Amino acid sequence: MNNFDLNAYLSAQREKINTAIDGFLFQSIKPRRIINAMRHSVMAGGKRLRPILCLAAAEAVGDPPDDVINTACALEMIHTYSLIHDDLPAMDNDSLRRGQPTCHVAFDEATAILAGDALHTLAFEILSSNVLSKKNNSTKYLLVIHTIAAAAGVNGMIEGQMRDMAAEGHRLGLEDLEEMHALKTGALIEASIVAGAIMGDGSQKQIKQLKVFAKNIGLAFQVTDDILNIEGDPRVLGKEVGTDQARQKNTYPSTLGIKSSKAFAKKLVNSALQALNYFDNRSDPLRAMAHYIIARKK
C-alpha cells in the first residue's frame, strides 16, 4: 500500500475510460447537436470516481474481463445524466459544472434534457450489449444491469434527489439526512463497486465486504462534498460554493458543524478500510481511493 501510486493509477484509468466513452459517442454516429451536448457534459473532465471504483473492484476480486470497461463507461454516463438534470433551472439551477457552463447554459434547456436522457439510455444500450455478446454468461450481465438500474432509479438516486428537493428549507434529523444521501449519492457508488465485483466473478463473501466498504465511502464522499461547498475553492472545484446554504439544503455541516463533519468522514473511511482487511494487495487501489475521497479538493 505504501508503494501504491494513486495519482498514476487514477490518471491511467481516466485515460482508459475517456477513450472508451469517446468511442461510444462517435460510434456510427455523425457529430450533431445532441452528441455535442452529451459530449460537452460527459467529457468535461470529471473525477471518474464511479467507473474507476468499478474497475478497481473488479481487480480486487480477481482478473477482470475486458468488457468491464463497458460497465464502467455506462456508470459514468448515468452519473453525468443525473448531473445535467440536477443543474436544470427546475432543480438546482446551476450555471457552472466541472469548470465550464452547465449543459442548459451552453446549449439550451430542451437540449440539456434530451442530452441527459440520451446518456441514460445509451448507458443501458451499452450494458445490454454485454449480454448479447456473452450469451453463455447472461445471468451475470443481467445481474449487473439490475444492480445499476435499481441504484439509479425510483428506489435509489432519483428518490434521494426527490427527498433533497422536498427537504429544502426544512431541517432533517441526522438519520433522515443519512438515508437521503445513501440514496442520492451512495446508491450509485455502491452499485459501481458491486457491479465491478460481479464482473470480476467475486464470491458472495467478497461482494458482502465490498458492500460495507461502498456504503461507508459513499457517505464519506457526500460529507466531503458538503464540506467543500463551504470551504472549497471554486476555481479548483469547477463550480460555485455556498450554494447549499443559499438554498437551505440539509447538509452534514449544517447538522453537525464543520469539525464534527470532518471527524465523521474520517470515521467512515476507517470503517471502509476495515472491510478491506479480507482482501490482499489487489485491493490497494480501493484503499488509496478511500483516503482520496476525504482528502480531495474537488
Apex CA 111: angle with CA 101 and CA 86, to 5°?
Answer: 60
Please name the residue that has the C-alpha cell 451499452. 126
Q: Are the C-beta atoms of residues 51 and 72 closer than 8 Å to each other?
A: yes
Residue 204, number of CB atoms within 10 A of its CB: 7
In angstroms, rounded to a whole number, what is the distance separating the alpha carbons of residues 74 and 144? 11
Apex CA 143: angle with CA 139 and CA 149, to 5°?
Answer: 145
Stated length of the chain: 298
Residue 264, number of CB atoms within 10 A of its CB: 19
Query: Over the Cα atoms of the chain, what is R_g?
Result: 18
Apex CA 80: angle with CA 120 and CA 237, to 5°?
Answer: 175
Q: What is the pLDDT of residue 28?
A: 53
Q: What is the pLDDT of residue 297?
A: 80
Q: What is the pLDDT of residue 31?
A: 62
Q: What is the pLDDT of residue 29?
A: 60
Q: What is the pLDDT of residue 298?
A: 81
In angstroms, rounded to a whole number, what is the distance separating the alpha carbons of residues 282 and 59? 6
Element containing residue 119 per DSSP (H, E):
helix 109-133
- Say what angle helices 187-199 and 204-231 make with each other, to 10 degrees: 150
In angstroms, rounded to a whole number, what is the distance separating the alpha carbons of residues 222 and 219? 5
203 is written with which cell numbers? 464470491
Please name the residue that has the C-alpha cell 445499476. 148
In angstroms, rounded to a whole number, what is the distance separating the alpha carbons of residues 45 and 83? 13
Q: How far is CA 63 from CA 66, 198, 214, 252, 281, in A?
A: 9, 11, 20, 38, 13
C-alpha count within 13 angstroms, C-beta hemisphere, residue 214: 29
In angstroms, rounded to a whole number, what is the distance separating the alpha carbons of residues 33 and 111? 8
Q: What is the pLDDT of residue 135?
A: 64
Instruction: Go through 119-135 and write b for each residue having 16 or more CB atoms within 10 A of its CB, e for each that does not.
Output: bbebbbebbeebbeeee
Report all structural domains of the chain as residue ranges with CATH numbers, in order of start: 6-295 (1.10.600.10)
Please name the residue that has the C-alpha cell 457491479. 195
Q: What is the pLDDT of residue 1?
A: 52
Element containing residue 97 per DSSP (H, E):
strand 96-97
Q: Are the C-beta atoms of residues 226 and 241 closer than 8 Å to each other?
A: no
**In a structure prediction context, what are the per-residue pLDDT tens digits for the chain, which is 298 residues long?**
567 899 999 999 999 999 999 999 887 566 689 999 999 999 998 899 999 999 999 999 998 889 999 999 999 999 999 999 999 999 989 998 988 999 999 999 999 999 999 999 999 999 998 777 766 778 899 999 999 999 999 999 999 999 999 998 888 999 999 999 999 999 999 999 999 999 999 999 999 999 999 999 999 999 999 999 999 888 888 788 888 888 888 999 999 999 999 999 999 999 999 999 999 999 999 999 999 998 888 8
Q: How far is CA 41 from CA 45, 134, 173, 180, in A?
A: 9, 31, 34, 25
Element containing residue 96 per DSSP (H, E):
strand 96-97
Q: Is 78 helix (H, G, I), strand (E, B) or coil?
A: helix
Q: What is the pTM of this model?
A: 0.94
